[in-house]
Amino acid sequence: MGYFIMATKKVEINCTTDEVIEREMTKAELAAEKELQQKMIDELPVVDESKIAARQALLDKLGITADEAKLLLG
């Protein structure tokens, strides 16, 4: 599952002539953009909420902050 923020326009800038062309993206460009965004979403790390809660519980039990724990361990 995911959602996409899709731009439907493409801006092309010719650096030699300073010509700016703004145009609608083609169906192929839109499909490629959607595929790229899905790939990026799929590569995001999975967050394990129970591991985060257990870590915070341990820090609370020890009475230290996450930064203090890093100092002790690092």
Long-range contacts of 44-47 (CB under 8 A, 24+ apart): none
Are residue 36 and residue 69 in the same domain, yes or no?
no
| pTM for this entry | 0.49
Are residue 27 and residue 55 in the same domain, yes or no?
no
Measured distance CA(74)–CA(65) in Å, rounded: 14
| Type of residue numbered 47 | V
Are residue 38 and residue 63 in the same domain, yes or no?
no
Are residue 4 and residue 27 in the same domain, yes or no?
yes
Interval 1-12: pLDDT, tens: 455 567 789 999
Are residue 51 and residue 33 in the same domain, yes or no?
no
Are residue 58 and residue 33 in the same domain, yes or no?
no
pLDDT at residue 8 in the model: 87
Are residue 7 and residue 30 in the same domain, yes or no?
yes
pLDDT at residue 28 in the model: 94
Range of the domain at 67: 46-74
